[in-house]
Amino acid sequence: MSHARVHPGEHRDRSADLRAAIDRTGYYPEVVADAVRDALGGESVVSFYVHHEPTFERDEVRRHQTVVLLTPTRLVLAHTDEHAGDDLLPEPYTSTSTEAVSLGAVANVVVTRMVTNPTQGPRPPAEAVLTIGWGAVSRLDLEPAGCDDPQCEADHGYTGTSSSDDFSLRVSAAADGADAVAGLLSFAASLSALTRG
């Protein structure tokens, strides 16, 4: 759970900081770093966030790592999972998928902060969720449409909303540490700064 924040107009290359953050997780750093380097396409790293998430399935621990970063022109996401092996690949293996999205294509950046005991004054958020949409995945929520007449039995069709949520990441101070929540919020601020206008 590492990050680096950018201020508008500042584009210092943070590739070395990103590599150090990937190394600190200890989660196949060479595999993850190679995939991220290829996805960067030679661009510099403006800001980043690294999230390592172990999950427990019965008697197994499976790990997942997300690296989300900004270049001067793109949002890059890398997801790495480990697998115990299967019929095609009998030995344990990792799979890494990367996606690069033009910053101009980012349609929305939604940040949700959860603050406990808000009546006790300013407190750091206990949890944060970052949702980014660029139109690759859309969700359509429909419900039957109606009118104000309670006696009406006509079919009014459906009404609904369409929302884009191509990427979502939730971190909490309890599970990931207070620095992880602050780091995600800092990355979100960097992304918002680069996608405005």
Task: Round to whole Å and give the CA distance between 36 and 7.
Answer: 23
Instruction: Categorize the per-residue pLDDT at 8 as very low, low, confident or very high, splitting at 50, 70 and 90.
Output: very low
What number of residues does the chain have? 197
Contact 176, 129 (CB under 8 A): no
So what's the pLDDT on residue 41?
Answer: 93
Residue-wise pLDDT tens digits, 35-80? 999 999 999 999 999 999 877 767 777 789 999 999 999 999 999 9
Using a CB cutoff of 8 Å and minimum separation of 24, what contacts does 86-94 make?
A: 94/28, 94/31
Contact 63, 182 (CB under 8 A): no
So what's the pLDDT on residue 4?
Answer: 45
Contact 11, 193 (CB under 8 A): no
Listed ranges 17-31, 47-61, 131-145, 146-160; the one with the highest mean pLDDT: 17-31
Task: Round to whole Å and give the CA distance between 50 and 88.
Answer: 30
Q: Is the pLDDT of residue 5 over 50?
A: no
Query: CB neighbours (10 Å) of residue 156?
Result: 10
So what's the pLDDT on residue 6?
Answer: 43
Residue type, 9: G
Q: Is the pLDDT of residue 100 over 50?
A: yes
pTM for the model: 0.78
Output the six-digit token pair for 89: 């690949």
Average pLDDT of the residues in 101-115? 93
